[in-house]
Chain A
Amino acid sequence: MNTNSNTYTIIYTTVLVVVVAAILAIVASALKPRQTANVELEQMKSIMLAANIGETNGQPDKKADFKKLYDQNIVNTYVIDGKGNRVEGVDAFKVDLKSQYEAIKNGGDVTLPVYECKAADGSTLTILPCYGAGLWGAIWGYISVKPDGETINGAYFSHASETPGLGGEIAEPWFYNQFDGNILKDAAGAFSSIKIVKGGDNGDPNGVDAISGATITSRSLQNTIEQWMNYYKLILGD
């Protein structure tokens, strides 16, 4: 057979592509439930680590069952709109943070998730997510705030594609553990988001040390937290 004729080439490539597409579609839909479960587990892990649950000396526990911890410790979840009012009928865990980030940026209607978590000492922590753009891709994280509405209990950050060793350090314990105990106030006592600055503690109670060599990621993270805190400050402290 002449394998170089146009008809043969067209039929051959069409059949090949259809067969390959079918294989991939079958495999992708077969693995989908497991992949979704992994993504959800990762989200639960982030929320728990932000509340400093499942950590030993600030390092994540490798053997911890974060789904169990999440189910045990999260007592309430809800969603707020741009004015701080609760929105009914939305599952906070399923809110897509990326679309909320777009809405914040473009001034649209927002529905922001809030988690309430039982701390070891019996008090209730408020855990607040944030999501924004880093240097190369998305960055996101969770911050847990103590019942006084201004003291940070813990934080956890992650990223899609920041440079390992530089911007990627935001996902490392040494960086996010610095947030523990910070106060969401400036030197004058007014509400203020976190300041990520060189040296960190330059007099402000809300400063953390930036990452050397990752100025843009540090600054983006500061802006991201501030954008989301502008909404969350409406509900903190009641």
Chain B
Amino acid sequence: MDKETYLKPLFKGNPITVLVLGICSSLAVTVQLKGALVMALSVTLVTAFSSLFISLLRNTIPNRVRIIVQLVVVAMFVILIDQALKAFSYDTSKMLSVYIGLIITNCIIMGRIEAFALGNKPWPSFVDGAFNGLGYGMILIIVAFFRELLGSGTLLGFQIIPASWYIENGGWYANNGLMILPPMALILLGCVVWVHRSIDKELQEQ
């Protein structure tokens, strides 16, 4: 297994900024850093274990129903994570609401299974799935960092902007209300893509 397997999903083949997959959930769950972290972890676990599982079964899956088989496996992992969150982290589960269930529709997972896990051995498939999840999660965390800091003045719920700066306490600062609305997530995501392409010139289109 070469370095490409785990470096590519993070940078040159990042699922969000280069392949433009998984945009919907990256707009929805990045209001707070905590939600983004849990979402990143959940997607990483689902992609890694679905890829591993499908790779183990790859020689036995009947070709005509392979998409259905993949869906069943992915759905199983998504439901397991949803149930575990409801039992062990109820507040996060409430905050992410339908978006955990919607991981199943995240194109990254089915994309990696079709493109990689069906034709590779279990261990590389697991690594490929995990690093694609991490590449997705990395962008989520970057966007959520700015949205929570500028939109609520907090990070992971802790007050970062000093309370005395706020106008209501006699200061000069106010949180940017636009930051907590989805359109701002799209603009921030655009900025991340812009920065990514200015650093990595090969990604620029002519």
Contact = CB atoms under 8 A, between A and B. Distances in A.
A214 to B, nearest CB: 13
> Chain B: interface residue count, which band?
20 to 34
Interface stretch (A19-27, A67-75, A124-132, A228-236): A19-27
Contact of B87 (A13, A34, A164, A165): A34
Interface centre among A12, A23, A62 (most CB of B within 10 A): A12
A164 B180 contact: yes
A236 B164 CA distance: 44
A91 interface: no
A16 B87 contact: no
B103 to A, nearest CB: 15
A39 B88 CA distance: 12
Contacts of A38: 86-87, 90
Given A3-B60, A4-B63, A12-B62, A31 B68 contact: no
B86 A35 contact: yes
B76 A20 contact: yes
B138 interface: no
Contact of A12 (B61, B97, B157): B61
Contacts of A28: 83
B199 interface: no
B195 interface: no
A42 B95 CA distance: 13
Contacts of B83: 27-28, 31, 35
B62 A23 contact: no
Contact of B69 (A4, A13, A39, A42): A13
Contacts of B63: 3-4
A164 B94 CA distance: 12
Given A3-B60, A20-B72, A9 B65 contact: yes
B69 A165 contact: no
Nearest to B97: A161
Give the dominant DSSP class at B's interface.
helix
Interface string B84-104: 101110100010011000000
Contacts of B180: 164-165
B58 to A, nearest CB: 11
Contacts of B94: 42
Contacts of B189: none
B149 interface: no
Contacts of A165: 180-181
A20 B74 CA distance: 11
B72 A3 contact: no
Contact of B90 (A3, A17, A20, A42): A42
Contact of B84 (A16, A31, A62): A31
Contacts of B87: 31, 34-35, 38
Nearest to B31: A164
B61 A34 contact: no
B7 interface: no
A20 B69 CA distance: 11
Contacts of A160: 97
A28 B79 CA distance: 9
Given A20-B72, A24-B80, A161-B97, A3 B86 contact: no
B64 interface: yes
A4 B90 contact: no
Nearest to B83: A31
A24 to B, nearest CB: 6
Interface of B: 31, 59-65, 68-69, 72-73, 75-76, 79-80, 83-84, 86-88, 90, 94, 97-98, 157, 180-181
